[in-house]
Amino acid sequence: MRKRMYFVPAGCILFILFFTVFGERGLLRIYHLSREKEEIAEKVTQTRGENENLKREIEALKTDRRYLESIARKDFGLVRPNEVVYQFPAGDKAQPKPHQPVSSAGEKKR
């Protein structure tokens, strides 16, 4: 009979301990929520930085003619009248020829 008396309080303690750790307001839930809060705070900081960059770019587009011209040239390929644009292929760079030593007389060595 005495053994049964110990099971009741032990069962209650295990029940309370289980819900303290795994319950809806338990320690694991609190840990996951705190991690989620940190991730959201990091995203908020990143988004604020992006917003500041966009505000600066908007202001530059409104006030800085040189910046506006560089965007028009780069993104839209616009040029001024009587301006010639030379375009070179980006991937086909010519291989430099090997350098041949030149003697002091100006003739190439063989």
If one compares 80 and 95, the residue with the highest pLDDT of the two is 80
DSSP annotation of 107: P
pLDDT tens profile 93-106: 555 566 655 555 55
- Domain spans in the chain, listed from the N-terminal domain onward: 2-76
Assess whether pLDDT exceeds 60 at residue 32: yes
* pLDDT, position 95: 59
- Give the distance between the most distant pair of CA atoms in the chain: 118
pLDDT at 77: 84
What does the pLDDT look like over 43-57, one tens digit per residue? Answer: 999 999 999 999 999
Summarize the confidence of residues 76-89 as an average pLDDT. 86
Taking the model in full, what pTM does it have? 0.51
How would DSSP label each residue in 41-94?
A: HHHHHHHHHHHHHHHHHHHHHHH-HHHHHHHHHHHH----TT-------SS-PP
What pLDDT, in 10s, does the model give residues 66-75? Answer: 999 999 888 9
